[in-house]
Amino acid sequence: MDIATVIGLLFGVGAILWAMYEGSHGSLGAFFSMDGFVLVLGGSLAAASMSMPLAAITGLPSYLKKYIFHKGVEPSELITTIVQFAETARRDGVLALESAVKDTEDPFLKKGLQLAIDGADPAVIDQVMNIELDAVGERHHHGRKIFELMGKYGPAFGLTATLIGQVCMFRNMAGPSGGHHAAKGGGGGGQAAQIAAALAIALLGTLYGTLWANLICGPIGDKLAVRSAEELFNKQIIIQGILSIQAGDNPRIVESKLVSFLSARQRQHMPSADGEKK
């Protein structure tokens, strides 16, 4: 589980609940409106469904799982692994990587190694892996887009809840204070209660739309974008590493090429092929 995600969510929810508690003197129930909640959540999800293909909508659980339980690989660790493959290929030949393919968990790296073992032309390897790279980027884009759309439409449906609440409020204000209301024992007080309830829907709908966009959908979409960039960056490293291995480059040359992807700080903490830090 991503610690930064958990910490951020706890701090955000905690700050909002604290403000609600202090502002209402402990009456948190005042901030609950099922009408506003259903309208904002259901409306934004419906709008996103109308805007995206079904496959992207059904993939929501997997996107959320990736957001919460993502296990990324550090580029330095990936480079170290590829350099070890290069050493094996240099010492025993590319065919010796067959066992490495079976033990590799990364499907993209496994596919590249298999292409190199099969003796595919470097241009073919580069083309095949870049095609898959583009396809992965497109799938990631769909995942981010859903949350971007829900964050975009959430405040609009919050405003819709506000307008509905105002219509209900003005309708109750226009009604007689006696008659039907008085018959129920409410009189003017009953009418005031109905107006207050309608006003609560109006205000809470706007609140829910703001929270939905800025506390939930916005951060999820932004973090998925960051993780997509990290994954695509790692795949670029893999492509260059596989091409170097297939070309028969010295492991030191392979390492020098791949280390170029890293920042100066990352290079300082990366162990070299002999096990010592640079």
Residue 59 has a pLDDT of: 87
Query: What's the rounded Cα separation, in Å, for the pair 225 and 231?
Result: 10
Query: What's the rounded Cα separation, in Å, for the pair 107 and 119?
Result: 19
Say how far residue 104 (Cα) sits from the centre of its chain.
26
pLDDT by 10-residue block (mean), the chain, 278 residues: 85 93 88 89 93 88 85 87 92 87 88 91 94 92 92 93 85 61 48 76 89 93 92 95 92 92 80 52
Backbone φ/ψ region at 25: left (φ over 0), alpha (ψ -120 to 50), beta: left
Count CB neighbours of 255 within 10 A: 23
Residue 65 has a pLDDT of: 86
Q: Please say whether the beta carbons of 146 and 52 come within 8 A.
A: yes
Residue 157 has a pLDDT of: 94
Q: Please say whether the beta carbons of 148 and 220 come within 8 A.
A: no
